[in-house]
Amino acid sequence: MQNEPVGIFEFNAKKEWYYYYIVKNDNKLSFGTVSNCGFMERGYLTLDNSFSLDEHLQCLVEDVKNYFKNGITPSKTVINELEV
C-alpha cells in the first residue's frame, strides 16, 4: 500500500492559514503535513467505491474547512486531535 500524491489544499480559518497535502492509498485519502521525517497524517477519509475520487476530495475538503472554521465535527472525515 503505497501513498499516491493527490494534491495540496490551503484555506484561511480564524486569521490563520492551513496548508495540507493529500495522499491516496488503496482504502483512504489522508491529509497532513510533510517534514524531513516524512508525511504526518492529520486525518483521513475512508474511500467508498460507489463515489468518485472528486466526490471524496470534495467531502474531505469541506469537512476539514468546516472543522477548522466553524468547529463542526466532520460527518465522514476522521481528524486526529493531537498536533505535533
The pLDDT of residue 2: 82
Give the Å distances, CA to CA, from 74 to 27, 62, 66, 70, 71: 19, 9, 7, 11, 9
Residue 54: predicted pLDDT: 96
Model pLDDT, residue 1: 62
pLDDT at position 4 is 93
Give the bridge partners for 10, in sequence order: 19
Rg (CA), the chain: 12
Q: Where are the domains of the chain?
A: 4-78
Q: Which residues of the chain have pLDDT under 50?
A: 84
